[in-house]
Amino acid sequence: MNKTHKTLIATLAVALLAPLGALADDAHHKPAAAASAGTGALTDGEVRKIDLEAGKVTLKHAEIKSLDMPAMTMVFVVKDKAMLDKLKTGDKVRFKAVNDGGKFTVTDIQPAP
C-alpha cells in the first residue's frame, strides 16, 4: 500500500465517520422536548365533582410542574364560582391552578381541545 492509498483511506474514513459523529452529537444537544413550562401552561384534567355552593371542583389532574405536584385527584377552590357554570362531571378540561396561601385555586379552566 503506497502513501497515496493510505491518505485516500484516511480521508474516506473521516468522510464516513464524521456524519455519524455529527448525529450522535446532535442527539446529545437536542433541547429537552419543548417543556410545557411557561407560567401560562395549562394542565390536563377531568372533572370528577362540582360543588357550586362552596365554589369547589374535584379534578383528576396530570402532573402540575408549577405546583410541584404529581398526577392525582383532588379538590380545588375556583377563583370565581361562575367558572363552574360551564362545567359538568366527566368533562375533560385544561386548567391553571395556583397555590393561594395553601389553598389550591383554579384561576382558569376551559374545555380540553
- Binds Cu ion (CB under 5 A): choice among 18, 72, 75, 82: 72
Q: Between 24 and 72, whose beta carbon lies closer to Cu ion?
A: 72
- Binds Cu ion (CB under 5 A): choice among 62, 74, 77, 83: 74
Q: Between 59 and 87, whose beta carbon lies closer to Cu ion?
A: 59
Give residue for cell 401560562.
40
For Cu ion, the nearest residue by Cβ is 74
Number of residues in contact with Cu ion under rule CB under 5 A: 3
| Angle, CA of 86, 89 and 91, to the nearest 5° | 65
Distances in Å between the Cα of 62 and the Cα atoms of 70, 82, 83, 100, 101 are 7, 24, 20, 19, 22
The amino acid at 110: Q
- Which residues, including other chains, have CB under 8 Å from residue 73's CB and lie 6 or more apart? 48, 58, 59, 60, 61
The stretch near Cu ion (CB under 5 A) out of 10-18, 28-36, 41-49, 74-82 is: 74-82
The stretch near Cu ion (CB under 5 A) out of 17-25, 31-39, 42-50, 66-74 is: 66-74
- Binds Cu ion (CB under 5 A): choice among 44, 46, 66, 69: 69
Asked if 59 and 83 count as a contact pair (C-beta separation under 8 A), the reply is no
Tell me which residues touch Cu ion (CB under 5 A): 69, 72, 74
